[in-house]
Amino acid sequence: MPEHTLPFQDAPACPGPDPEPRGPTRFPVPAGAVDTHAHVIGLPPAYPFVGQRSYTPPAAPGSAYIRMLDQTGMTYGVLVQVSVHGSDNRLLLSTLRQHRERLRGIAVMPLGLPAADYEQARDAGVVGLRLNVLYGGGIGFDALAEYGALARDMGWHLQFLIDARQLPPLAATIAALPVPYVVDHMGHFPTSVGTGDAGFQTLLGLVRDGGWAKLSGAYRNSVDGLPYADTTPYARLLAEAAPDRCLWGSDWPHVSHWKPMMNVGDLLDTLYDWVPEDDARHRILVDNPHRLFGFGAAP
């Protein structure tokens, strides 16, 4: 059974996000800012959950996500197919179609589908595919080269949810991909392992050589909790390694999180600790995601 995955009957319910999201208190959100990592979630029976999962979430509709963007000052958002819906992208695609100017999407799609399926996803606003070896409901790295070829043909990039400690044996294959790739949540591993860990050093090397990284998931990686000061060395090293290929994401609605629930504003304030320089933070919030996800261009 994949890491972090449980039989459905053992997958506990997790709480929803703070119902009153706010913007940061430490800097103004720039015009055109992009939240590059969030999820929409439907409920069974209309939108079934996968049987093997690590949590059972509440609903998180597109309308609530748009409200979060508005209340935090974010202009655009990127929806990532959530693990509990597996490769059933219906809710993702319908939400993208409803908000074509503001949203882009990262889908989870098997290889070998009819060409029309991929084309319909692209037409809806999908700009990439997700490979996920955590939490269940995802597609792993066994066919990484084949996914690289599919993404190349579709004009997409690849996005990886992986614990950075799993990266070293995959690094050469990842580096050879013919498309851009993004590693979620700064490598999604606890800060207690240290910045010298071989997995994090592998991530740094990949990012220096052309990869992208999401400065996100502070509450997942932190051992200490709010304000997540123990994540700062990791974020700063990544931002220094690739100032033009780092992104920020809220990870709304913060699934699989049972500790005290943060506000999106808290996570934006943590970004200030990571990247206190206005110009560098503008690249992360605006310039970099516009280039990768195509905001300002037709979906």
Positions annotated as catalytic residues are 251
Residue 238 contacts residue 204 (beta carbons within 8 Å):
yes
Measured distance CA(174)–CA(150) in Å, rounded: 14
Measured distance CA(203)–CA(131) in Å, rounded: 16
Q: What is the DSSP letter of 54?
A: S
For helices 232-241 and 198-208, angle between their N-to-C axes, nearest 10 degrees? 30
Residue 111 contacts residue 143 (beta carbons within 8 Å):
yes
DSSP H or E run through 240: helix 232-241
Amino acid at site 211: G
Reading the block at residue 44, the tokens are 């069974």
Residues 6 or more apart whose CB falls under 8 angstroms from that of 199 comprise: 163, 164, 165, 166, 167, 168, 187, 189, 193
Four-point Cα dihedral 109, 112, 116, 119, nearest 10: 50
Residues 6 or more apart whose CB falls under 8 angstroms from that of 132 comprise: 83, 108, 138, 139, 140, 160, 161, 162
Per this entry, what is the length of the chain?
299
